[in-house]
Amino acid sequence: MIFLEIKGMHCSACEETIQNALQDIDNVKSVSIDVESGIAQIGGNPELKILLSAIEKSGYSAREIDQPNLDVYNKTTPSAWRELRPLFIILSCIFFGAFLLNRSMFIWSNFMMDFMGLFFIVFGLLKLIDYRNFPPAFANYDPLAKRVPIYGWAYPLIELYLGTNYLLNYNILLALVLTIVLLGITTVGVLMKLVQKQSVQCACIGTAIKLPLTKATFIENGIMIIMAAWILITNLM
């Protein structure tokens, strides 16, 4: 394990920039950065000079810490529920909203489309709160956003478009296909990060709210893909 003290970090965007620079280095198994303390914890067996060079090329300076600050790293780890509570609260509100829209005549397919519509509208708006920092955070685990940076900037707008289509029941087939393809790409990226056990910020509700990338993100995307696929198959039959 290598501990580095990094100078110049001020926000989550700085954290994501350094994390992106370090995680692609050979023999790096995990990267954990605490932006408040300015300390990075790198697992694996990478060369120190390569790590320092990558950080310097990103516009920051760093030095190795022989004895890490235990007061920083022995902080009480928040429970999974506490970390994911904002996501669960938002999803619960979306579920309740979709239920209210269908309370007079409940049909599963209509409920699912309203749920997906509210999901994309709410999640898209949350991403716009800290719009400047969303693309680099999203590119940290989405393969397409990493290769095509403009896609990261467009993604919140795409979500708003999809949400509007679902709620207005307009161009549903296109919305369903886009949902399956785009969330499918993101889910592959999420799965890769989980398999590699890399500590990454989840940008699903934007970057204004800090949320770790966990199995909950994978399950959330999976449920959305299953709902879209079910409605698509039903419409085509």
Say yes or no to pLDDT of 75 above 60: no
Separation CA 169–CA 154 (nearest Å): 22
Report pLDDT for 73: 47
94 vs 86: CA distance, rounded Å = 12
- pLDDT, residue 186, reads 95
Q: How confident is the model at residue 233 (pLDDT cuts 50, 70, 90)?
A: very high
- Given 48, 73, 98, the domain boundary residue is 73
Q: Say if residue 126 is in the same domain as residue 53.
A: no
Task: Mark whether 52 and 167 lie in a shared domain.
Answer: no
Rounded Cα–Cα distance for residues 202 and 137 (Å): 7
Domain check: are 157 and 203 in the same one? yes
Query: Rounded CA gap, 1 and 172, in Å?
Result: 50
**Structure tokens given for 101:** 């829209």
Distance CA 33, CA 15 (A): 7
pLDDT at residue 22, as a whole number: 87
pTM value is 0.69
Strand partners, 204: 206
Q: What is the pLDDT of residues 137-162, one digit of tens each?
A: 899 899 999 999 999 999 999 999 99
Domain with 157 in it: 80-236
Confidence (pLDDT) at 74: 47
Amino acid at the residue 51: L
Q: What is the band of 7 on the pLDDT scale with cuts at 50, 70, 90?
A: confident
Q: Residue 28 and residue 46: Cα distance in Å, rounded?
A: 6
- Considering 26, 51, 73, which residue would you say is the last residue of a domain? 73
* pLDDT over 70 (residue 12): no
Cα Rg of the chain (Å, integer): 20
What does the pLDDT read at residue 80? 59
- My answer on whether 199 and 216 are in the same domain is yes
85, 68: one domain = no
Helix (H, G, I), strand (E, B), or coil: what is residue 61?
strand
Confidence label for 70 from pLDDT (cuts 50, 70 and 90):
very low
Q: How many domains does the chain have?
A: 2
Q: What are the pLDDT digits (tens) for 192-213?
A: 988 887 778 888 888 888 788 8
- Same domain assignment for residues 67 and 127: no
As a whole number of angstroms, the distance between CA 51 and CA 53 comes to: 5
| Residues 179, 159 share a domain | yes
The domain that holds 26 is classified in CATH as 3.30.70.100
**b/e 32-64 (16+ beta carbons within 10 angstroms → b):** ebbbeebbbbbbeebeeeebbebbeebebebee
In this structure, the answer to whether residues 114 and 23 fall within a common structural domain is no
What gap in Å lies between CA 74 and CA 173, rounded to an integer? 50
Mean pLDDT to the nearest integer, 60-84: 63
123 and 226 both lie in a single domain: yes
Are residues 119 and 36 part of one domain? no
pLDDT at residue 228, rounded to an integer: 95
SS3 190: helix
190: Cβ contacts below 8 Å, ≥ 6 apart: 141, 213, 217, 218, 221
